[in-house]
Amino acid sequence: MSENSRFLNQSQLFSRDENHRLKILKAISTYDDQVDRMKSDQFIDWQQARLAAAKIKKYVLNNLPSLLEEFEEKISSRGTKVLWARNKEEAQKYFIDIATQHQAKKVVKSKSMTTEEIEFNELCQNNGIEVVESDLGELIVQLANEKPYHIVTPAMHKSKSEIGKLFQTRLGAPSTDDAELLTMIAREHLRQIYISSDIGVTGANFIVAHDGALVMTENEGNGRLTMSCPPVHVAFVGIEKVIPRLMDLSLFLPLLATSGTGQQITGYNSIIRGPRQRGEIDGPEEMYVILVDNGRSELYNKDHFRPILSCIRCGACLNACPVYRTIGGHTYHTPYQGPIGSVITPQFRGMEEWSHLSFASSLCASCTSVCPVNINIHELLLENRWEAHQKKKTDFTWNLGLKMWAWIMSDRFRLNIVSKLGRHIYRLFMPILSQSKRKRIPDLPSKSFKDMWNNYEQ
Amino acid sequence: MNSKNEILNRLRRNDTADQKNTIAFWADKEIFIDYPRRSDNLIDMFEKQFNKSETTSPSWPQRYRSFYILAHIGAEISS
């Protein structure tokens, strides 16, 4: 089945599933309330903060090569090995080489979208390495043999009772749907894994060029334990994650926390500048940073698309999107869902299979209005559509329909005829259309807008 | 050619040496009017901002306690 057909089938299934929609709407409405409160509580001028963040990110993108080199130089000076991966395969190869060198059999991993992108868990499974997710949401979807549902809240689609049952069957835990008890079960399960793992794998929310540091934000403390307990730390980072200076975090951390989870600031914010130094008692003995390109540099060279590399993966556009709210995250079948996923997936994975995602949008621009770094997401969806059209990756019927529409709309006489004809056809099919239980079909007014306008002028 | 050079070359393909590329974002007085200069000491900067938000017209972000602590941590690491 093609990705397009799969997407359409899943969309129908999920949009009709009322239980699923209720769970998502409940989760997102709680998020909406918190975000609105935090925007006004924490920022005097939210729009000004967005503009400032966009400005910093624009500077980063305009100077990306030199900032990346500076980051490498600074972090290497404290003993971290920096590896550059052109694509998914190269990133995977680097990791397998590291795992082989350290004879790693068990890996603990915190939440990271870049590892989802390079299919890290599948890589470990295929190479006989056990990988355990340490983020609670990620652990839940891993135990359920599912993919993350949302880039910030991977188990958003699971209710507490579903998680309780999952823990009961997969971890042998007592039956409960109490959130605190469920967290304690996961905590007990994970504590030994941190200590017994050979490698800790993380992502990074930001990398700081001038200071050569990796920044991780999280709410469970699992990222910090994942990074510091095992003897080796490997971080997979997209090359666009750069910010220039440590002090830029004073803007980006609250911006990310507010847009991502409606918090003032996340519970744990770690700034990592290298492996354990002489005289220090904590931290990994070795540290690797794998800078992943995987299509980003191609995107960088397309002027229109360059701003999408400013994305800080807060997930605000997913929560705002009426399409995502209706069809859910798994329907997209990609690591990045929602509007941001619909822009970057066809670019990363090719228009051939994935151009349909660019059409999964009403172009209402909610995504653009909530983006904390002011990315024009809805316009980029249109750019994608244009590119798909240019590459002849759009449907024949779609193209024909658009051509007809353009032909009709470009001439007043044609438009009048079609409008009149359309009104008659609509009335003819009205009794059949009204049978639909899902949607009420409105009656046609007795006069068209044009007739009313003519009367008004007279 | 190794991977690093290849990635950097790809990123530099459209580099036009535009002056805009070299102007630091903190030079934009309109947006960064309340934003610290590059040379500001990290702790001084956060102290200044922290006090400013309580006395004179506040800038963003309004609440600085977390960032103040963060700045201390950052400064400690940097030292």
* Contact yes or no for A84 and B45 at CB 8 A: no
What are the backbone dihedrals phi and psi of residue A203, each rounded to the nearest 5 degrees, phi first?
Answer: -105, -155
Interface of A with B in 190-219 (CB under 8 A): 211, 213
User: Residue A131: pLDDT above 70?
Assistant: yes
Average model confidence (pLDDT) for chain A? 92
Size of interface A-B (CB pairs under 8 A): 114
CATH class of the domain at A43-294:
alpha beta
Q: Report the length, in residues, of chain A.
A: 458
Domain edges within chain B: 3-78
- R_g (Cα) of chain B, nearest Å: 18
Domain edges within chain A: 43-294, 401-457
Which of A254-268, A387-401, B26-40: highest mean pLDDT? A254-268
Question: Torsion angle, CA of B28/B30/B35/B37, rounded to 10 degrees?
Answer: 40
In one-letter notation, the amino acid at residue A328 is: G
Over residues B13-72, the pLDDT tens digits come to: 876 545 444 555 655 655 555 544 444 444 554 454 444 444 444 444 444 445 555 665
CA separation for the pair A153, B13 (Å, rounded): 37
E strands within A142-193? Answer: none
Select from A125, A100, A120, A102 the least CA-distant residue to A110. Answer: A120
Q: How far is CA A168 from CA A33, A158, A417, in A?
A: 33, 15, 66
Please compute the mean of the pLDDT values over residues A121-129 and round it to a whole number: 96
Among B32, B40, B58, the residue with its CB nearest the CB of A52 is B32
- Model confidence at A99, pLDDT cuts 50, 70, 90, reads very high
Cis peptide before A244 (omega within 30 of 0): no
Q: What proportion of chain A, given as a percentage, has pLDDT over 70?
A: 99
Its pTM stands at 0.84
| The predicted structure's pLDDT at residue A450 | 83
Which residue is associated with the tokens 């609105």? A36
CA separation for the pair A315, A61 (Å, rounded): 21
Considering all CA atoms of chain A, what is the largest pairwise distance in Å, rounded to the nearest integer? 90
Interface of A with B in 303-322 (CB under 8 A): 303
Buried b (16+ CB within 10 A) or exposed e, A251-264: bbbbbbbbbbbbbe
DSSP codes joined into one string, A336-396: S-HHHHHHHHHHHH-HHHHGGGGGS-----HHHHH-TT---HHHHHHHHHHHHHHTT-S-H
Please compute the mean of the pLDDT values over residues A163-173 and round it to a whole number: 94
DSSP codes joined into one string, B6-26: HHHHHHHTT----HHHHS-GG
Please compute the mean of the pLDDT values over residues A1-10 and round it to a whole number: 91
Question: How would you list the strands of the sheet with A286-292, edge to edge?
Answer: A81-85, A286-292, A232-238, A199-202, A106-109, A130-133
Q: Report the length, in residues, of chain B.
A: 79
Which of A23-37, A121-135, A241-255: highest mean pLDDT? A121-135
| The predicted structure's pLDDT at residue B29 | 58
* Contact yes or no for B3 and A85 at CB 8 A: yes
Please compute the mean of the pLDDT values over residues A315-321 and round it to a whole number: 96
* Contact yes or no for A51 and B31 at CB 8 A: yes
Over residues A337-376, the pLDDT tens digits come to: 999 999 999 999 998 899 999 999 999 999 999 999 999 9
B11 and chain A in contact, CB less than 8 A: yes
CA distance A52 to chain B (A): 6
CA separation for the pair A85, A71 (Å, rounded): 16
Among A244, A273, A303, the residue with its CB nearest the CB of B77 is A273
Answer yes or no: is the ipTM higher than 0.90.
no
Select from A211, A46, A268 the least CA-distant residue to B69. Answer: A268
Among A49, A68, A213, the residue with its CB nearest the CB of B60 is A49
Q: What proportion of chain A, given as a percentage, has pLDDT over 90?
A: 74
For chain B, helix, strand, coil in percent to 5 are 55, 0, 45
Over residues A136-146, the pLDDT tens digits come to: 999 999 999 99
Structure tokens at A327: 């069809």
Select from A153, A341, A367 the least CA-distant residue to A260. Answer: A153
Question: How would you list the strands of the sheet with A213-218, edge to edge?
Answer: A242-243, A206-208, A213-218, A268-272
User: Residue A324: pLDDT above 90?
Assistant: yes
Q: Which residues, at least 6 apart from A315, have a Cβ–Cβ distance to it below 8 Å?
A: A150, A151, A152, A153, A259, A260, A338
Select from A9, A30, A332 the least CA-distant residue to A156. Answer: A30
Please compute the mean of the pLDDT values over residues A374-385 and round it to a whole number: 94
CA distance B51 to chain A (A): 15
| The predicted structure's pLDDT at residue A453 | 86
Which residue is associated with the tokens 């059409």? A359
User: Residue A187: pLDDT above 80?
Assistant: yes
Type and span of the H or E element at A233: strand A232-238
| The predicted structure's pLDDT at residue A303 | 84
| The predicted structure's pLDDT at residue A204 | 97
Interface of A with B in 80-119 (CB under 8 A): 83-86, 90
Over residues A279-288, the pLDDT tens digits come to: 888 899 999 9
